[in-house]
Structure 1
Amino acid sequence: MEWHDEGIVLGVRRHGETSVIAEVMTEEHGRHMGLVRGGRSRTQRPVLQAGNRVSVFWRARLAEHLGEFRIEPIQQRAALLMQSSMAIYGIQAMAALLRLLPERDPHRKLCDTLEIIIGHLDEPEVAGELYIRFELALLNELGFGLDLEKCAASGTRSDLIYVSPKTGRAVCRTSGHPYAERLLALPEFLQPEMNEAADSDGLNAAFRLTGFFLNRHVYEPRGIEPDTARESFIQATLKALAPQAAGIV
């Protein structure tokens, strides 16, 4: 059994004296593990850093075996990413989210989104919004997607400012007003037909929104805690945005 694919390194763990087990999010084969012989060598370590785009050759006797990777670099950007705490935490947080998916299940959309976000992790005004959309896409892939296109009560597609915590569906201002204290806020940048860029307040509301449904549908049922990298990424992003909001250049 063998295949060739491209993907992004999520992480590695030591295996024996000289080898590692690498975890890669591939385009066609999903999140996949493989043994890299000599992975701790001076030439391989820079290639196997989280965030790097790589070419992956996998081989095993049987499909269910761990198998061996031969990994070659396509784009080595880990050194650049390590210059920013926001980028470091962002990579770690997204890797933790991808581990919620079954191994080897293909999720091309998430892989493509991951690639886009990594290219913008040095831009807090863009990275935060893209990360939220990544979490929404992940919830959808897990079968818990939110319906933010029209009001659950009236069917209207305008003035959507709430989300029902019970159904994950959007609610318009008029229908939701009597129950506002029990509803989650839907930030403007996630509202249909809105072209508003995300600001600090909008990102705060969006992080609360996706965090609520991740806890409800994923973490609590599985009896696991959210990875701390998510909160660290949120704080680093909001901190980076703070000088911009104050008009400091």
Structure 2
Amino acid sequence: MSTTESPSHFNHLEKLSAKELLAGMNSVDQTVPQAVAQALPQIEALVEATVARLQRGGRLFYIGAGTSGRLGILDASECPPTFGVPQGLVIGIIAGGDAAIRKAVENAEDDPQQAWRDLAAYAINTDDMLVGIAASGRTPYVIGGLALARRHGIATGCIVCNPNSTVAAVADYPVEVLTGPEFITGSTRLKAGTAQKLVLNMLTTATMIRLGKVKGNKMVDMQLSNLKLVDRGEKMIMDELGIGQEGAAELLKKHGSVRAAIEARR
């Protein structure tokens, strides 16, 4: 039995108070960063491989089913506004298509051929990196997609939460974050999902920093898509150039991005 499917260390949950439930969940959640820390060398290898492919014009793809697929889509969707990269540089694909983002699609993850068909629609090629996300490490949709990508000479990685999984076996750069039993037996949207989110955060954030999308510790290429972000952009310029809010606002309005505003004054 996979460790993520092992019996919970807690029982008779229906008899616990809200306070006891929350305390129990919090206690097991605290083990997740420790599990991620154990996988740092694997995450580093995946980051380096991803940076190399994006530097030569490639893209980063995620494939997954259920919670794993949704987490990939979430991470992909946040890269353009955060780092100012084009839509389509990071692409998340979920088994069952976009309808599965909000509602489970029956048996969508069971077809080992479908992921490759989904990827082919984007003309995936050997410049790209494909990362399969599967807490169990045995999702046919992910296994098939990674195996076929590898057969076509495409670099593959994965994020799984069980040891010695089939998904990891077909990945060039496996990341295995061993989170163990869930608070509710088998509910991998909990600890495993949290671990996957942490790894995805690390993968794209480290990659984008290595690609020059951050200056100092600031998101100088972020999209100015609302008033909060415009205000943040002005404060970055004020801090970087040592000028007042009015001057920063004028520069930002003129140049359209924090990076361009700062470079215009240097």
For Structure 1 versus Structure 2, the TM-score category normalised by the shorter chain is under 0.3
More strand by share: 1
Q: Which protein has greater RCO, CA pairs closer than 8 Å, 6+ apart?
A: 2
- The structure whose residues are more often helix, as a share, is 2
TM normalised by structure 1 equals 0.24
TM-score by length of 2: 0.23
